[in-house]
Structure 1
Amino acid sequence: MIDTADHDGIAVLTLRHGPVNALDLELLTALPETLAEAADARGIVLTGSGRTFSAGVDLKRIVDGGPSYTETFLPALHRATLALYGHPKPVVAALNGHALAGGCVLAAACDQRLMCGGTIGLTELAVGVPFPTACLEVMRHAVGTALDTMVLGAGRLTPEEALPIGLVHEIVEPDRLLAAALRRTEELCSAPPEVYALSKRQLHRTALQRIAAAAPLEDPEVARIWSAGPTARILRAYLSSLRRS
């Protein structure tokens, strides 16, 4: 589900979960566990297998699992997002293709992002579901004022469009992606680990405070909408349209 390889003390974590690395309960549970297992690594590179980093939440599992699955899934998404965002070591995303919806959020939770192709964006509103608080605040930290357009427009950006807003830090050729991500991680590792970890905590403090303050109020409403009958009908219609296209 998540392969781990060591590159001179840098752990390369590769999502390997179906053709598009869709986010389901199992993958989101595995991510914090894998990060914990790589605690001794000097830094982390997160990438995907195939031609997609992650196409986002496995909507079929949401529909098929019903409210009981969703009630377990959303906290797992929260924990996985914060485990990545709060990791004390350098974390670089090597985006090997599309990074959409939840996949975009996981990319934004990394310190820096390199991309070789595909599209990146937040498509949640297009399929009729709202954002959990942690996902929204991690995205806000990554792109600032561009977040309004990304969320409400529910569109996809090319790497070239994502570069000026800070969602992508470097565009590289596919055959250079891993090497470039390792080089970027090595550069970040040049800072003393204690100093790097403290600097990340300082940079992330505002987002984490907003998450702590808002999540208890907003996330129950998010869960209610994700689990509601009308949402399930919208998701079924969306999935049917994908099969027809």
Structure 2
Amino acid sequence: MGATTTTMIQLNIESNVATLALADSKVNAMNIEWCQLFSAQLAELEHDDNVRAVVLTSAERVFSAGVDLKRVVAEEPQYVQPFIDSLSKCFRDAFVFPKPLVVAINGHAIAGGCIVASCGDFRVATPRARIGLPELRVGVPLPAIAIEIIRRVASPVALQAMLNSGANYRGKAAVEVGLADEIVEKESLLEAAREHADLLASIPHATFRLMKQQIREPSLVQADRLEEKFGQQVREVWNSSEIRAMIEQYAAKL
């Protein structure tokens, strides 16, 4: 058994399964430092031969409320480009992580939190955990990789309505639209996630990695196409005076 802690992430490794618990403030808000640390932690676990699978959860009551919007409006406009770059990279790193990644959604997974959770190979959630994508209601467009991550898991019928409405889903409804795979009571959540991680870890690593690459490669190809075509526009919209005002209004309500 081994345990390490940073100001943002808690890590415990037991019987070849790493439990990675997000632990940055009460809502695990994503800023550029958070994104960089998360990517670095995944890279370490990818190359750790003692780790065969990862359970991702939160040490707080909220899984993640997504982007630190207060930080976005507090910073100069120059913050946005490197932040979106880091955010897109951490989403992509979670999406392509070659080992089994099981997500235990122990609290609300909103916006970027929903994207990170959707990167999992299996997602268990508590009945009360709300999962959703309010970005369009806030006024900000999703980066290309985030769109493709959600497109892969969400029901095609529900996808447009999910994005347009910014609705949150929980329990059976979250499973029906594709934002969770199983609902488990809070007291059994980590145990259930660990069981799924053990099951996936029993698959030979080379086999699991290759199948995951083949399944997810079309999403990456499409994300690269969208990024090339629309990436700069996404960053410009985030930085427009109209959208910064909307972000500031929304952040003030949080």
Q: State the TM-score, normalized to the length of structure 2.
A: 0.93
CA distance in 1 between counterparts of 2:136 and 2:178 reads: 22
Out of 13, 16, 28, the position equivalent to 1:21 is 28
> What's the counterpart of residue 121 of structure 1?
132
1:214-229 aligned within 5 A: 214-229=226-241
Is 130-139 or 227-236 further displaced after alignment?
227-236
Amino acid of the structure 2 residue aligned with 1:143: A
Shift of 1:222: 0.5
CA deviations on 1:199-233 (whole Å, 9 max, x unpaired) are 10111011011011110111110000001111111
2:144 aligned residue (109, 121, 133): 133
Structure 1 runs, 4 residues or longer, greater than 6 Å off: none
* Shift of residue 241, structure 1, vs aligned partner: 3.1
Aligned partner of 1:70 in structure 2 is 80
Name the SS for the 1:50 alignment partner: coil
Q: What's the counterpart of residue 87 of structure 1?
A: 97
Residue 53 of structure 1: SS of its match in structure 2? coil
Q: Which of 140, 165, 174 is 2:186 aligned to?
A: 174
Aligned residue in 2 for 1:155? 167
Q: Which runs of 5+ in 2 are unaligned?
A: 1-7
User: CA contact under 8 A between 1:137 and 1:207: conserved in structure 2?
Assistant: yes
82-91 or 153-162, larger mean C-alpha shift: 153-162
Structure 2: how far apart are the matches of 1:164 and 1:234? 31
Q: Which residues in structure 2 correspond to 1:3-82 (within 5 Å)?
A: 3-39=10-46, 40=48, 41-82=51-92
Match of 1:189 among 172, 196, 201: 201
Give how far 1:143 is off.
1.1
Paired letter, 2:242: P
- Measured on the aligned residues, the alpha-carbon RMSD in Å equals 1.0
Q: Give a deviation string over 1:111-135, Cα, whole Å, max 9, x none.
A: 1111013200001011111110000
Contact residue 120 and residue 159 of structure 1 kept, 8 A: no
Name 1:230's counterpart in structure 2.
Answer: 242
SS at match of 1:164: helix
Matches of 1:170 and 1:182 in 2, distance apart?
Answer: 13
| More divergent stretch after superposition (50-59 vs 146-155) | 146-155
Residue correspondences, number: 242
% identity of equivalent residues: 35
Is the 1:46–1:93 contact (alpha carbons within 8 Å) kept by the matching residues of 2? yes
1:143 and 2:154 are equivalent in the alignment: yes
TM-score by length of 1: 0.96
Give CA deviations for 1:72-117 in whole Å, capped at 9, x if unaligned: 1100011101100001110011001000000000000111111013
Gaps of 5+ in 1: none
1:136 deviates by 0.4
**Aligned residues of 1:66 and 1:227 also touching (Cα < 8 A):** no
Given residue 167 of structure 1, which amino acid in structure 2 is its aligned partner? L
